[in-house]
Structure formats: structure tokens, C-alpha cells
Chains A and B, each alone.
Chain A
């Protein structure tokens, strides 16, 4: 077993709680914190939309930028630049603003395509992904055996039924096919 569970204490039988018993009760109470309370500090709110900008990070990968941005933000991540078919879909998505459904639906679609590309990439590197391990099946086995057995059982039953139906149908159609081929 890999993960270690930390022992935890749970014992409070009372349903209601007397706040007089709470350590720190009310220490941050602030009558001015009504919904207009300034958790936003307006003292430097100059409405100009300009500020002393940080040094610009130089892009050395392909970067997609929201059309709502006035300029390229100074800093960005360089993980997983767009590539392949999913990359083309992402490029297309960025023609539309963040307010447009097309933008997000294309990106979600690209994510699904990217998943298949990931498997192909693994195979191309002669690495067969250990999908049960990646999905945490060992943990499921340790902590939810009956659930796992049920899931496997249900999946097997569905696959079995579908296969049986398919075979039965194919068998039923075989004479027809033969007839069609030999008029």
C-alpha cells in the first residue's frame, strides 16, 4: 500500500455550537464589512488602464492570445505548445473572444483530440500506456473492491450483450447476403 492515511479524530456529539467556546471568535469582526466593504483597495485605482509594465518574457514557443487582450501579458507558461490536429483546432478557437461559445467548444473538442494524439505519441515512443495504473485502479482495488468488481461486471455484461446481439444479427443476415450475391 502506497499512501498513508493520517489518523483523525472525530467525536463532537453536540449538534449546535456555543460560539463562546470558539477560539478566536469575532477577532476579525468588522461592522464596516457589509457588501460594499473595500476588499478591493481603491486608493490606487487610476482608471487609466496603464501601469509600469514588467519586463516582457520573450516567446520561444507558439503562444495563443485572447483577442480581448490589448497586449501580450508580460509573463506566460511554456508548457505543451499547440501541435497536431488539436493545435489547429486551438488556433481556430482563438479567432473568437472568451465571450463566444465557439471558442470554448472548439477548445474542449481539441482537448479530446489531444488525448488520442497522446496515446499515438506514447506508442510512437514504443511506450504502451498503463491505463489502469494511470486511472488509479490499484487504489480502487485497495479501497473499493466491491465497487470495482461491480464496474468490471457491468462493463463485461454490456460488452457481452452487445457482442452477442451483433453476432446474432450478423448470422441472421448471412443468408440474405448470400442471396443478394447469388441472384
Chain B
């Protein structure tokens, strides 16, 4: 089959690879119909995630048709069209029992701090992912969800990650009616976080980024007030000014370890790798939120450490909430939101790219060329 093949930082291609097979009684093999490139894939692509091995196939956002199931999978059959949550979760361990499906303890030997994720380095379990014609799906009796007949597959594929992640960012923020919510990052995740903030009753939603075409898009999509941080002298002072000197009730970090905006953090984190990337967006979030406020983090950081003003977290009495999205927990609610029109995820899809041109797609998404927001990959067999 054709599959993405990682060759090192900034270098990927599509090669022939062996077909995935059933390796565990609860596995399925899924023929991929659509898969996406995520902001999280960029951390792999830029060589920032430790234990990213040459030869791996990335891809944790995909949907497709069940090809084959293992003997313990009774609720799926060949031919079912499913969307596959990005977390590999057993559904029965200590953490899954608490609905923490992004933190499963039975899917990743290489690390305890993170559960298994499709195509996301060996630090997240060493699985080949869905940027391929076929993928092995473990715990197939638990994770995959049959796509309802009425649902557009473009919406379905976005329900595997960005929609639940954006929604959970707003949910974890504990938004109360009338709250002012600031979202750092106008990528797909930030866009969905801003949109979801309204669903929780936000009174005001502000999005910060430095890429104008993305800000323009989210101004309509969320909708939201938008500001380009390159045009502000000091983001934090601006946030204070626009909130009567108090700060926002809630700040959401939808940027993660590749943040721009601080030369110091860029050198220490992105160039010298002395921190797990640059944490300037989180730094701004902590300093822009009001005392007693909530900082909700879904932006991804590496496993070592980052420079953030933790003293201010203490002095301001902040609550920090963060996680990998628990996709399976949120799916019923989100499918309903899509059905009634509260959420329109597919509007963020900006590019459709044949799987064979994946190297171009990564480059365009990584460098934000051609006004790229969310690229979808189409395997030729699909």
C-alpha cells in the first residue's frame, strides 16, 4: 500500500509499505478515505518530538472503511464507515474508566505520561498512522465510531481531533455566562476553541495570532474579535486595557511549542532545544488572565520542560487545566452539535491533496503558504 514515510526533519515522502495486519484480537484494519495533517504533526515534522523514528507513517486524524476485524471485535464489521479518534484507548483501565481516554494506560509502553496516539512517534506508542491507504486500529471495539448516514465525511474526519480538542479547550476553561475568553492561536484548534467558547456562554471572544489570513477567517467563523500580536506593543498590556485593567476571565493556549513572538524562547527552545520548544503563548496567557482566572492548555509541549512564569500562577491564584482531548467522551455531544448546525467544522478545510503529494501538503501547512488552514489528504484508493 501507499503510505507516508518519515525520513528526518522536514523530509517526508510516500512509499510502498506492507499492508497492516491484525496484531491483537481487538484490532481492525481500516481502509482510509480521508486523513488530515494536524498542527501536532508539525512538531514531528520539525524534529521536536523525541523518539521519532525514520520509516514511521504519521497521521492521527482519519476516517475510513473497516476492512477486517480481529476476533474480539463484535460491534464493527467489514464495510462500516468509521471515524477513528486520535487517542488509542482500551476503555477499561484506571484512566479510561474515568473518561480520560486521552490518558489510557494500556496503549503505550514507551511512556507513561501520554497514552497511545496513531502515527505520533514512539513516545506515543510507536504506531503507524493514517496518512496511508490502510491503517491498523487497536481497540477497534472501543474507539472507532460509525459515521452517521447524514454526516459529511469532511466533518467526520475533523471530529477525530480538532473539533473535540477545540471544544475541550473551552470546556476545561470552565466558561461562565458573560466571560471574556482569549484564544491564543488561530490554527484549526484555536478556531474551534473560539467557536466552542460561545456554546458555553462566553460574553466576548478574542483571538490572537500573527497571520492575517487566519485572523480574517476566524473573525467570521467563530465569530470573534481578532488582533495581530505583531501590531501590538505588548500583548499583555493590550489585554489588560481591553478588559478594564482586570485581565480576561479565561485564556486558552491553542499554540503549543512552536510559538513565535519571543526571540529568547525561540533561541532556547526551538534552536538550542534547552526547553521543549517555545512557550511564549502560554507565558502571555498566564499574564493576560485575571486573578483567580483559568488558563486552559491544549497546545502541545515536549516532555522536558518550559520556561513559564509559574510565580504569577501562584500570586494570581490561577487554575491551569490541560489535557490531550478525550475524543471518545465528547463525540456524542459533538455529533449532535454538527447535526443541528451549532458547529460547522468542514468550513476550515482549505486544501485537498492527493496522498502522493504529501510532502507539498506538509510544507504548505507548516509554512502557512497559499492561505492554508487545514489540509485533507485523499488516498488514491479511496
Residues in A lying within 8 Å of B, measured CB to CB: 2-6, 8-12, 15-17, 19, 22-31, 33-35, 37, 39-42, 44-45, 48-55, 57, 63-66, 68-69, 72-80, 82, 86, 90, 93-94, 98, 101, 104, 107-108, 110-112, 114-115, 117-119, 121-122, 129-131, 133-140, 142-144
Residues in B lying within 8 Å of A, measured CB to CB: 7-13, 23-26, 47, 50-57, 72, 88, 90, 92-94, 97-100, 105-113, 116, 122-123, 125-128, 138-139, 168, 171-172, 174-177, 198-205, 213, 216-217, 219-220, 222-225, 273, 294, 302-304, 319, 321, 333, 337, 340-343, 347, 349-354, 357, 359-364, 366-367, 369-371, 373, 375
24 contacts between A and B (CB under 8 A): A3-B364, A5-B350, A5-B370, A24-B342, A28-B200, A44-B97, A48-B94, A54-B90, A55-B24, A55-B72, A64-B122, A65-B110, A75-B90, A75-B106, A104-B302, A111-B51, A112-B47, A118-B8, A118-B55, A119-B7, A134-B10, A134-B13, A135-B359, A137-B363
Instruction: Assess A3 versus B94: contact at CB under 8 Å? Given A57-B24, A101-B304.
Output: no
Instruction: Assess A129 versus B7: contact at CB under 8 Å? Given A39-B99, A140-B367, A143-B370.
Output: yes
Q: Is the CB of A134 within 8 A of B359?
A: yes
Residue from A49, A54, A65, A77 within 8 A of B26 (CB atoms) = A54
Distance between Cα atoms of A94 and B123 in the complex (Å): 11
Nearest-Cβ distance from residue A15 to partner chain B, whole angstroms = 6
Q: Is the CB of B201 within 8 A of A144?
A: no
Q: Is the CB of B26 within 8 A of A40?
A: no
Residue from A28, A39, A80 within 8 A of B126 (CB atoms) = A80
Chain A interface helix/strand/loop/mixed? loop
Distance between Cα atoms of A11 and B218 in the complex (Å): 10
Neighbouring A residues of B200 by C-beta, 8 Å? 26, 28-30, 33
Distance between Cα atoms of A80 and B53 in the complex (Å): 6
Q: Is the CB of B51 within 8 A of A107?
A: yes
Distance between Cα atoms of A45 and B98 in the complex (Å): 7
Distance between Cα atoms of A80 and B223 in the complex (Å): 43
Neighbouring A residues of B106 by C-beta, 8 Å? 53-54, 73-75
B8, B90, B350, most chain A CB atoms within 10 A: B8
Neighbouring B residues of A86 by C-beta, 8 Å? 53
Neighbouring A residues of B55 by C-beta, 8 Å? 79-80, 118
Q: Is the CB of A11 within 8 A of B220?
A: yes
Residue from A19, A23, A57, A119 within 8 A of B203 (CB atoms) = A19
Q: Is the CB of B175 within 8 A of A33?
A: yes
Distance between Cα atoms of A136 and B98 in the complex (Å): 43
Q: Is the CB of B353 within 8 A of A3?
A: yes
Q: Is the CB of A134 within 8 A of B12?
A: yes
Residue from B24, B123, B128, B171 within 8 A of A79 (CB atoms) = B128
Q: Is the CB of B110 within 8 A of A51?
A: no
Distance between Cα atoms of A33 and B94 in the complex (Å): 23
Neighbouring A residues of B175 by C-beta, 8 Å? 29, 33
Neighbouring B residues of A98 by C-beta, 8 Å? 111-113, 303
Instruction: Assess A4 versus B352: contact at CB under 8 Å? Given A17-B224, A138-B360.
Output: yes
Residue from B9, B72, B97, B343 within 8 A of A51 (CB atoms) = B97
Q: Is the CB of B112 within 8 A of A69?
A: yes
Q: Is the CB of B350 within 8 A of A133?
A: no
Neighbouring B residues of A2 by C-beta, 8 Å? 353-354, 357, 360
Q: Is the CB of B174 within 8 A of A29?
A: no
Q: Is the CB of A12 within 8 A of B352?
A: no
| CB nearest neighbor in A for B154 | A6
Instruction: Please name the 3 residue pairs, one residue from A and one from B, whose CB atoms are nearest each other, closest first.
Output: A136-B363, A77-B127, A115-B8
Q: Is the CB of A118 within 8 A of B99?
A: no
Q: Is the CB of B90 within 8 A of A77?
A: no
Distance between Cα atoms of A144 and B372 in the complex (Å): 13
Neighbouring A residues of B72 by C-beta, 8 Å? 55
Instruction: Assess A107 versus B50: contact at CB under 8 Å? Given A5-B370, A8-B217.
Output: yes
